[in-house]
Amino acid sequence: MLDIKFLRENPEAVKENIRKKFQDDKLPLVDEVITLDEANRAVMKEADELRANRNKISKMIGGLMAQGKRDEAEEAKRKVSEESAALAALEQKEEQFAERIRKIMMTIPNIIDPSVPIGKDDSENVEVERFGEPAVPDFEIPYHTEIMEGFGGIDLDGARRVAGNGFYYLIGDIARLHSAVISYARDFMIDRGFTYVVPPFMIRSGVVTGVMSFAEMDAMMYKIEDEDLYLIGTSEHSMIGRFIDQIIPEDKLPYTLTSYSPCFRKEKGAHGIEERGVYRIHQFEKQEMIVVCRPEESPVWFDRLWQHTVDLFRSLDIPVRTLECCSGDLADLKVKSVDVEAWSPRQKKYFEVGSCSNLGDAQARRLKMRVADKDGKKYLPHTLNNTVVAPPRMLIAFLENNLQPDMSVRIPQPLRPYMGGKEVLTPNRGPRE
């Protein structure tokens, strides 16, 4: 969310940013919020004058009573009563203006970084760099669910009976591999100096609107019926929400945190044939990284975060690339974002396995997070987040890139301690429960 003062002083810059994001339908909102802001400030000024006059008259009443001027005192009381009623009406107007302004400001997108490429959607994202050599083996790689079925490792039909489409059972070695990847990612980030956190998996509506845009909220979040609680779509939500209404001592920064959670997402809309199986689902687990830092440090942390994900995938022999997200592909709160994509030898192309985002001070402003420096001066910190790993997407990349001609799966050295020392998984072609 932008600072209303910035919008007031730079309306054309805000409009140009909206155009860069190809959201021209939001252009009228800039003029509307400026008009509302002017009206609101006029009402606030009038209310302040009324309060001052009312307080002045109230102070006179005691003196008039002491002087025996009862009629004048009663007239003063009448004026106080009138002005209190007028003030209440003005305060109601203030609340109405403030609520409308807040809703508009939460709809107007954040100012993107100058380095962000301009484009309408994800088809115009720009490849930045490749890590590892993408290879296509000389044998056919089955679809990921077929690989898992070879180990008796997945039951989609049972999950449909229990919960519907978009859910799964993982079984045996595949389930163990899933947990091993999460555990390895946790320790990988701890070894890089991040503090491990297990956060709440539900959050209140005030946190939801503080960490994401209305469009994201509608597309993603599951609401708990009859309660002010939502299931999280990512642990970023509750991790950043932890700081709502807090003043953080500057010497505590930066917070570098890595969090585990299940994630729940509506995933509205149709997603295409390559997203069948367990590519896009309603429930999954994820290891995340979060940074809260000084504004001037966020560009450095941004580059560090996506590099951690690249390093983790490369440690498991999975080729990856980074993509700079174009303006039209950025969620409204984001200043800059880079996707990490893993190589799929079956599809002979890369697919998304993680996303690194710098949100500037947008979440901090919405959540009223502030930092107090040594002199007591307060400012808004920057927040960043990035995916470490998110099985089962990560499992798709892992299985395809480590699959052998006999349909066994090689376990890279770093993951073996988490798999009981196994160096290879051998398919059994049958259920094992």
Residue type, 240: I
Q: Order the strands of the 349-358 sheet from edge to edge.
A: 126-131, 320-324, 336-344, 349-358, 382-389, 283-293, 255-264, 195-197
Q: Which of 265, 321, 365, 370 is catalytic?
A: 265
Q: What is the pLDDT of residue 308?
A: 98
Largest CA distance in the chain: 106
Q: Which of 75, 352, 408, 416 is catalytic?
A: 352
- pLDDT tens string 130-156: 999 999 999 999 999 999 999 999 999
Q: Which of 242, 346, 370, 393 is catalytic?
A: 393
Helix (H) or strand (E) holding 167: none
Annotation says 102 is catalytic: no
Burial of residue 259, with CB atoms counted within 10 A of its CB: 0-12 exposed, 13-18 middle, 19 or more buried: buried
Q: How many CB atoms lie within 10 A of CB 220?
A: 21
Q: What is the pLDDT of residue 176?
A: 97
Count, residues in the chain: 433
- pLDDT tens string 59-78: 677 676 767 777 776 677 77
Quote the tokens at residue 21: 């994001």
Strands 195-197 and 255-264, sheet pairing: parallel
Annotation says 192 is catalytic: no
**Residue 341 — φ and ψ, nearest 5°?**
-120, 135
Q: pTM for the full model?
A: 0.89
Q: Which of 235, 261, 298, 355 is catalytic?
A: 355
Bridge partners of 248, per DSSP, are: 371
Grouped pLDDT means (10 residues each) for the chain, 433 residues: 93 98 97 95 87 73 71 72 80 91 94 97 96 94 95 94 92 96 98 98 94 83 94 95 97 98 80 64 95 98 98 97 97 96 97 96 96 96 97 94 96 97 86 42
Q: Which of 51, 280, 294, 410 is catalytic?
A: 280
Burial of residue 169, with CB atoms counted within 10 A of its CB: 0-12 exposed, 13-18 middle, 19 or more buried: middle
Bridge partners of 129, per DSSP, are: 322
Which structural domains are found in the chain, ordered by start?
Answer: 4-105 (1.10.287.40), 122-425 (3.30.930.10)
Which of 306, 283, 295, 318 is CA-nearest to residue 354?
Answer: 306
Q: What is the pLDDT of residue 432?
A: 41
Q: Does the CA dihedral 329-334-336-339 come out positive or negative?
A: negative
Q: How far apart are CA 308 and CA 291, in angstroms?
A: 13
Q: How far apart are CA 339 and CA 79, in angstroms?
A: 64
Annotation says 213 is catalytic: no
Annotation says 160 is catalytic: no
